[in-house]
Amino acid sequence: MFGLVKGLGITLKNMTKPKVTYSYPDEPLEMPDRFRGIQHFDPEKCIVCNQCARICPTDCITLTGKKHPDPEKKGKVIDTYDINFEICILCDLCTEVCPTEAIVMTNNYELAVYSRDELFKDLEWLHNNNTNIRVENNSAKPKAPGGKSS
């Protein structure tokens, strides 16, 4: 019998506790660092080594390179770079394997679109996806002070 009253007391107290819900579509969710979001691509850094396309478990990356415009220099520069987000599983392997960190993860995750075609992201789109770039495992980004020393 007393348990019923006790239960009522608990629920009454619960009413004043802070809410645990997020107002998600109104306010974007802060993702933790190390979150595997949509990739950011920097064509300046890319050396067209093709490692990302080869390691990709779903073969969602297609890239083409062209000869360096400066004939003095060796190697290639990137021409097209596309990720098909219909099949990309955001596994982070492409960014792990990239020797120059030309492709890195961001904390962005909103991929809902009205057409499948829109999920085919090209070089320009990936380059412009430059917000919330992941700091962790990214030497180009300064670590936050007070973080774990590596």
Count of residues of this chain found to bind another protein when the rule CB under 8 A is applied = 13
Which range binds another protein by CB under 8 A, 7-15, 65-73, 93-101, 112-120?
7-15
Q: How far apart are CA 104 and CA 106, in angstroms?
A: 7
Q: Find the shortest distance in angstroms from Cβ 23 to another protein.
A: 8
DSSP 94: H
Q: Per CB under 8 A, does 11 bind another protein?
A: yes
Nearer to another protein, 14 or 115 (CB): 14
- Residues 2 and 88 sit within 8 Å (Cβ to Cβ): no
Residue 57 as a binder of another protein (CB under 8 A): the answer is no
Min dist CB 19 to another protein, Å, is 5
Question: What are residue 70's phi and psi, to 5 degrees?
Answer: -85, 110
Q: Is 60 annotated as a binding residue?
A: no
SS3 112: coil
Task: Return the SS3 of 87.
Answer: coil
Which listed range, 10-18, 31-39, 50-58, 89-97, lies at the site for another protein (CB under 8 A)? 10-18
Collapse the DSSP code of 80 into the 3-class scheme (helix H, G, I; strand E, B; otherwise coil) and give the result: strand
- Structural tokens at position 24: 């998600």
Site string for another protein, 16-35 (x = CB under 8 A): -xxxxx--------------
Please check if 56 is assigned to a binding site. Answer: yes
- Smallest CA-to-CA distance from 40 within 115, 101, 119 is with 101
Strands 61-67 vs 120-121: parallel, antiparallel or unpaired: unpaired
Give 20 or 144: the residue with its C-beta nearer to another protein. 20
Residues in the site for another protein, rule: CB under 8 A?
A: 4, 7-8, 10-12, 14-15, 17-21
